[in-house]
Chain A
């Protein structure tokens, strides 16, 4: 049982390049999330999904797109990377009921640097 996994762990991009971050979970969770974590800013929600085929914007969605084609996967895309997108990206998943709704399970993070 791997929990939440993220690919890649590290990446360096040049301004204007594109990339996709992959998140996978094996807990059969309905909800999945993408956050970015910056010093002094805490975790900020980028996009989230409440089920296969559905996505919604979070607090800081500009410059990112997402897709949830399969229940276990949630992809985060950067179409044209900017230095302001240098951050640590975390994926998380949760179940929609009870304690589980508040317990988000996080992946190990992807450290992205945009030059």
Chain B
């Protein structure tokens, strides 16, 4: 079983919809939780970063971490066609290397 599980999608939504992307994990030592966005044929780029449990908001994006359930989410409000990309969750424990999910492909239809 992988340490980090992520539904590969694709997830197709109409423009303006609220999108929910999720990851589950098994390692209770994970403390830092990140979401990376990867456009087709490009390298990933950091979107949001959260330490421990709670919510973090940045514009149309909200990241949630529920450590008791070992579950993290990324919400995108008022989704745009430019949000179409693969979203990878990543997490780490202490100073260890990042562990990535396999990514969810999102398509926002105009």
A: which residues have CB within 8 A of B?
4, 33, 40-45, 48, 58, 90, 92, 99, 101-109
Contacts and interface: CB of A to CB of B under 8 A. Distances in A.
Contacts of B97: 33, 45, 48, 58
Contact of A109 (B42, B45, B100, B102): B42
Nearest to B42: A108
Interface of B: 4, 6, 8, 32, 34, 41-46, 49, 88, 90, 92, 95, 97-98, 100-103
A104 to B, nearest CB: 7
Given A45-B97, A102-B32, A103-B49, A40 B43 contact: no
10 contacts: A40-B102, A42-B4, A42-B101, A43-B44, A45-B98, A103-B49, A104-B44, A104-B46, A108-B41, A108-B43
Contact of A42 (B32, B46, B95, B103): B103
A42 B49 contact: no
Nearest to B98: A104
